[in-house]
């Protein structure tokens, strides 16, 4: 059985746009002018508040010479990772253990240390 690997946090494609801008010594304003993407849309995308749309991916391809498919795949992976992280965070693992009554202090210490509920 393959257990899916879920990252600790999802990386939004906007982070990679930021990296591209830095590597090219380019400002958001310059990229906006080059692509025709509204500055507000570009800023929201870079800051992870907006998804990379197909139109944005196509504009980025022309301006940065990074294929639109890459931008779309990054967005899809971000969406999948975000959903998997949300699912992981919703799941609560419950394990039932039985510790002999004579080890009550051990049970209390384990419960305190790990934040477990304890029924005695």
Is 103 within a domain? no
pLDDT in tens, the chain (120 residues): 556 788 888 999 999 999 999 999 999 999 999 999 999 999 999 999 999 999 999 999 999 999 999 999 999 999 999 999 988 888 766 566 666 656 677 777 777 777 666 665
Q: Are 78 and 11 in contact (CB under 8 A)?
A: yes
- For the entire predicted model, the pTM comes to 0.72
Is 4 within a domain? no
Is 64 within a domain? yes
In sequence order, the 6+-apart residues with CB closer than 8 A to the CB of 46 are: 14, 17, 18, 21, 28
The number of folded domains in the chain is 1
- Rounded to whole angstroms, how far apart are CA atoms 89 and 6? 11
Residue 95 corresponds to which tokens in the numbers above? 């394990």
Residue 55 corresponds to which tokens in the numbers above? 């139109």
Is 3 within a domain? no
User: Which CATH number fits the domain that encloses residue 63?
Assistant: 1.10.260.40
| Structural domain containing residue 53 | 13-90
């Amino acid at each position: 059985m393959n257990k899916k690997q879920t990252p600790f946090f999802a990386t939004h494609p906007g982070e990679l746009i930021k990296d591209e801008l830095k590597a090219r010594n380019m400002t958001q304003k310059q990229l906006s002018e080059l692509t025709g993407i509204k500055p507000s849309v570009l800023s929201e995308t870079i800051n992870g508040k907006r998804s990379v749309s197909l139109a944005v991916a196509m504009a980025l391809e022309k301006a940065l010479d990074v294929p639109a498919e890459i931008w779309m795949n990054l967005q899809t992976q971000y969406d999948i990772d975000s959903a998997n992280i949300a699912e992981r965070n919703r799941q609560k693992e419950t394990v039932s253990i039985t510790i002999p009554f004579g080890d009550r202090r051990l049970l209390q210490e384990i419960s305190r240390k790990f934040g477990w509920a304890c029924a005695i």
